């Protein structure tokens, strides 16, 4: 067992990646789903095991093929990557387990094996990004996950997904190319692709123009992939027209993984070495974060389609994460990283509930959802809890990250007050957009005959509730995300001079 345990970092990626081609061969109905789910559960278990080892013994490193770094590829799992791994694999498991019926209705049976193979490749790519310590490897995994996500998003019955996925593809490719150009420039100047090694070597050439250009390319490219305002335009449509369960999976984790790379690159490689980079990081990203928060929330307040509404809310929430990071303090970074986890819980539950609604309602505009609460009281209950978490009501996970974020802003004294105001105003905007949905669902009169209460898929309702209860649990006992994100923030800041 010990022998296998030391290979866990590699298995995290290898398991879904190896199962993916096998899934294509599983033609009988349901088998592909079962294999995909089993692989996801295994990946989730590996992530939990890795989390335990990181918590007990610090970062885990793994040398692919035993080639020593920086010559071989190194995998490195620390608190930050473990947090992301939990989010990615957890989102995959909940979406697959809960979403089986929804996927069955949305994906044609004979295309299901391909769909689930793409799902596993996305899972492998996203997990790969967060465990590898190699800049080029990150690019490879990024491409794997992106290409697979395009397939997933376009895989549903809604033809409007095609133009949105095309937009996503163009933007995503530009982002990835920018990243690759940046990495190429750095490789040209330093001769290394290993992040730790790069941090060490870039110091000598830090004032050279190619390095500065590389920093620009990498930051912009990753910001595009992470949908940081104003580079978010691909996101709302992609989320809206994707199959519902795919939205639940990707909304919980895909942009956050890019954000992770952005943080990792910035703090590991650039912050300590490039003169004035910390200042630039804060000064350029903070206004974007604030604008993202305010504009995203404002658009969500007036949006009619519930999935687009939640997608714009995601743009705002990514702003929170960036805002925390742009403070460049332990408290701020912890808040931002913690929000990755907490937001995934809230949005995951919300999109799962939306998947339930979609099986009954005629459409997903607010008018179509009128009175749905009376027909699906249980799903609605979970939606309420997750909505409260999104607002940041105490007792929910969303409150914990908001508390940290406000405390972090207050550390700056009077200078932090405008930030506090932004956070509070956007929380109130969240009240408005969440309440628009709740009011329509609760009080709205259904057009035509009022339908009887229906239970679509008990498993989906149960899984939605599990995630909703996780929102409450991590609101009252937030030790796990707090300790992981604080450790991650400290590790990141250790790389500053």
The residue ranges that bind other proteins (CB under 8 A) are: 388, 391-395, 400, 403-404, 406-407, 410-411, 420, 424-425, 427-428, 431, 435, 439, 443, 476-479, 482
Closer to other proteins by Cβ: residue 175 or 475: 475
Least Cβ distance, residue 479 to other proteins (angstroms): 8
- Work out the angle at residue 438's Cα, subtended by the Cα atoms of residues 435 and 441, and round it to the nearest 5 degrees: 150
Closer to other proteins by Cβ: residue 71 or 443: 443
Residue 90: both structure tokens together: 């957890």
DSSP H or E run through 238: helix 234-241
Closer to other proteins by Cβ: residue 37 or 426: 426
Number of other CB atoms surrounding residue 363 within 10 Å: 12
Residue 431: both structure tokens together: 């009240």
d(CA 386, CA 348): 9
CA distances from 220 to 167, 182, 281, 286, 410 (A): 17, 10, 12, 14, 29
Least Cβ distance, residue 420 to other proteins (angstroms): 6
Residue 438's Cβ-count burial label (10 Å; 0-12, 13-18, 19+) is middle
- Work out the angle at residue 295's Cα, subtended by the Cα atoms of residues 292 and 298, and round it to the nearest 5 degrees: 140
Least Cβ distance, residue 406 to other proteins (angstroms): 5
Least Cβ distance, residue 388 to other proteins (angstroms): 7
Closer to other proteins by Cβ: residue 192 or 486: 486
Contacts of 302 (CB under 8 A, 6+ apart): none
Is the Cα torsion angle 261, 251, 121, 161 positive or negative in sign?
negative
CA distances from 440 to 232, 370, 392 (A): 28, 5, 21
Closer to other proteins by Cβ: residue 262 or 393: 393
Q: Identify the three-state secondary structure at position 365.
A: strand
Closer to other proteins by Cβ: residue 59 or 395: 395
Least Cβ distance, residue 428 to other proteins (angstroms): 6
Least Cβ distance, residue 345 to other proteins (angstroms): 16
Least Cβ distance, residue 371 to other proteins (angstroms): 11
Residue 344: both structure tokens together: 């995934």
Contacts of 31 (CB under 8 A, 6+ apart): none
Closer to other proteins by Cβ: residue 6 or 490: 490
Residue 181: both structure tokens together: 């150009």
Closer to other proteins by Cβ: residue 47 or 331: 331
Least Cβ distance, residue 259 to other proteins (angstroms): 23
Is the Cα torsion angle 369, 370, 376, 382 positive or negative in sign?
positive
Closer to other proteins by Cβ: residue 439 or 494: 439
Least Cβ distance, residue 51 to other proteins (angstroms): 20
């Amino acid at each position: 067992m010990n022998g296998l345990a030391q290979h866990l970092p590699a298995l995290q990626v290898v398991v879904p990646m190896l199962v993916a081609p096998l899934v294509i061969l599983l033609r009988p109905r349901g088998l592909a789903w079962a294999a995909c789910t089993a692989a996801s559960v295994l990946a989730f278990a590996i992530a939990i095991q890795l989390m335990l080892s990181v918590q007990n013994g610090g970062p885990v490193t793994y040398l692919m093929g035993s080639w020593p770094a920086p010559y071989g590829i190194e995998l490195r799992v620390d608190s930050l990557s473990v947090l992301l791994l939990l989010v990615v694999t957890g989102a995959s498991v909940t979406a697959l387990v809960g979403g089986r019926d929804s996927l069955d209705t949305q994906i044609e049976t004979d295309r299901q094996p391909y769909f689930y193979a793409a799902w596993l490749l996305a899972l492998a790519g996203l997990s790969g990004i967060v465990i590898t310590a190699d800049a080029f490897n990150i690019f490879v995994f990024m491409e794997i996950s992106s290409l697979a996500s395009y397939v997933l998003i376009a895989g549903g019955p809604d033809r409007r997904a095609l133009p949105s996925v095309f937009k996503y593809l163009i933007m995503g490719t530009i982002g990835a190319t920018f990243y690759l150009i940046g990495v190429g420039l750095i490789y040209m100047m330093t001769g290394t692709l290993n992040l730790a090694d790069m941090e060490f070597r870039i110091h000598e050439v830090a004032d050279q123009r190619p390095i500065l250009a590389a920093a620009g390319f990498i930051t912009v490219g990753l910001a595009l992939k992470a949908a940081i305002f104003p580079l978010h335009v691909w996101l709302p449509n992609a989320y809206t027209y994707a199959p519902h369960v795919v939205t639940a999976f990707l909304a919980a984790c895909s942009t956050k993984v890019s954000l992770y790379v952005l943080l990792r690159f910035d703090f590991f490689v650039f912050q300590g070495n490039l003169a004035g980079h910390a200042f630039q990081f804060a000064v350029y990203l903070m206004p974007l974060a604030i604008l993202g928060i305010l504009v995203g929330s404002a658009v969500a307040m007036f949006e009619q389609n519930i999935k687009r509404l939640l997608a714009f809310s995601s743009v705002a929430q990514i702003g929170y994460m960036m805002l925390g990071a742009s403070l460049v303090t332990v408290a701020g970074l912890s808040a931002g990283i913690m929000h990755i986890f907490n937001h995934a819980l809230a949005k995951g539950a919300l999109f799962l509930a939306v998947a339930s609604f979609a099986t009954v309602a005629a459409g997903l505009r607010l008018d179509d959802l009128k009175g749905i609460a009376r027909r699906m009281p249980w799903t609605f209950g979970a939606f309420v809890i997750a909505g409260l978490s999104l607002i940041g009501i105490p007792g929910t996970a969303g409150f914990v990250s908001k508390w940290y974020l406000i405390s972090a802003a207050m550390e700056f004294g009077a200078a932090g007050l405008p930030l506090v105001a932004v956070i509070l105003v956007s929380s109130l905007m969240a009240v408005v957009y969440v309440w628009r949905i709740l009011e329509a669902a609760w009080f709205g009169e259904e057009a035509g005959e009022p339908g009887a209460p229906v239970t679509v898929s008990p498993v989906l309702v149960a899984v939605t509730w599990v995630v909703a209860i996780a929102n409450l649990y991590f609101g009252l006992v937030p030790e796990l995300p707090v300790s992981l994100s604080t450790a991650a923030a400290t590790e990141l800041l250790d790389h500053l001079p």
